[in-house]
Amino acid sequence: MNDASNHHTHTGRDSFGSSFGILVALAGSAVGLGNLWRFPYLVGENGGAAFILIYLAFVFLIGMPIMLSEFVVGRRSQSSARGAYQKLAPDGKWGFAGSLAIVCCILILSFYSVVGGWGIEYLFKAFRFDFTKGDQAALSSMFSTFASSSWQPLICHTLFLLASGIIVILGVKNGIERFSKVMMPVLFVIMIGIAIRSLTLPGAREGIEYLFKPDWSAVTADTFLDALGQAFFSLSLGSGMVITYGSYVSRKENIVSLSAKTAIADTLFAMIAGCAIMPAVFAFGISPGEGPGLVFITLPHIFSQLPFGGVIAILFFVALLLAALTSSISLLEVIVAFSIEEFKMKRRTAVMLTLVVLWVLGCLCSLSQGVLSDWKFFGKTVFDLFDFVSANVLMLAGGLLVVIFAGWKLGRKIIHDELSNSGALKIPVWFVDTLSFLIRFLAPVAIIVIAVFQWI
Ligand code: TRP
């Protein structure tokens, strides 16, 4: 009686305490550097509103079905990423899909914690009012000088990992859920405040039009690729996060509504971040197509010219850190949950061992911005390699595997059973039919197309 249909065996396993807690934890994972740093610069590079519309379509037509597939796998199995596949497909051939997810999270977290560390340093700089001292030349070289140095970024990276580790050691309900419940509302309020400040700048109008008036002439094949990749990254898909968090969710929760709310919160947050950053970029005559440096290189310039810029800088980097932390704990939890289950480790031991591995890999990522910049693999530094392999290979593969698994291996009946909580919720037939179609056909085809286009 110890199979996946046994509904009562989560004794000893941690779980979430409330529906709101689940939602903020999921939204916390989704909302992160992807929204504050990646989304604005991709919008800038892809011509604004048209990119946003395509992105929205992908989030709901492809992202949501993947998220629901992961939810079905996680909640039904009540297991961490690898165990979930093994439990639901006992022929043992699917475990590799889970292992892939673990590797993916290790790679993402290695460089994510380096960028999180940059956030810590920039928060210190903001507290020292470094951005508003009026030295424009120093501002321009500030980022590259800092990121390419050896010790400082390593210390910040270590601090960021330790902070994530402390929260995860406390557990799912007492750590992740409790932290997210407090931090997500704070994050929301800060970002709305900054958005209002930015939207009321003289000259903000151009930035608003850029965000909301589509210019279809800027759309190319690459726009679609960027939009789908961003949907994956921003919703934390294809890496076992929703499987792992889903395994802590009770059978009474409505996973359709949880997924929809998570996708909406993440999208809303990306739009708020866009409204905070783009009007200011235009108002101060900075190019929106500045690329990945947008947050760390150009924003300090903006803070230096903005009335009350010193205070806004502090608030912005507090928000960035909170957003990064609620995401990093989700990545860490995927690895920790796996280690606890697979190797029967204590949570504390699992966290500490994982942190050691992440610390070493993260140090390589960090140093690859400076002294180790000559270490190239396939023409990429360690940092860029981890970023590329996780976002462009492993997440796509993970997303493809989970929709194939849910759509073809588990099938429509199990999907319906999970969505409706075994019939307790009335889920319309057309909804299940449409979703099955999206899971079985549209999502896999779209992922394969984006992967193929990427490599030709
Ligand atoms: N979604 C987060 C962001 O937008 C990053 C993230 C958290 C993530 N967990 C993930 C990305 C799992 C991929 C996989 O910053």
Q: Rounded CA gap, 366 and 382, in Å?
A: 9
Q: How far is the CA of 286 from the centre of ligand 1 (A)?
A: 28
Where do we find the tokens 């932290």?
Answer: 179
Query: Which of 239, 268, 321, 334 is the pocket-test mutation for ligand 1 (most atoms within 8 Å of CB)?
Result: 239
For the chain, list the domains and their CATH numbers: 2-455 (1.10.4160)
- Residue ID of nearest Cα to ligand 1 atom 4: 34
Query: Which of 268, 330, 388, 392 is the pocket-test mutation for ligand 1 (most atoms within 8 Å of CB)?
Result: 330
Distances 188 to 123, 181, 199, 331 between C-alpha atoms, Å: 18, 12, 16, 21
For the chain, 456 residues long, give each residue's pLDDT as a single digit of tens.
344 444 444 446 899 999 999 999 999 999 999 999 889 888 888 878 999 999 999 999 999 999 999 999 999 999 999 999 999 997 878 999 999 999 999 999 999 999 999 999 999 999 999 888 867 777 778 888 888 888 999 999 999 999 999 999 999 999 999 999 999 999 999 999 999 988 998 888 888 888 888 888 888 888 888 899 899 999 999 999 999 999 999 999 999 999 999 999 999 999 999 998 888 888 888 877 776 667 887 788 888 888 888 999 999 999 999 999 999 999 999 999 999 999 999 999 999 999 999 999 999 999 998 889 889 998 899 998 998 899 888 999 999 999 999 999 999 999 999 999 999 999 999 999 999 999 999 999 999 998 888 777
Structure tokens at 166: 């402390």
Q: Rounded CA gap, 318 and 120, in Å?
A: 9
Structure tokens at 252: 């009474």
Q: Is 140 left (phi over 0), alpha (psi -120 to 50) or beta?
A: alpha
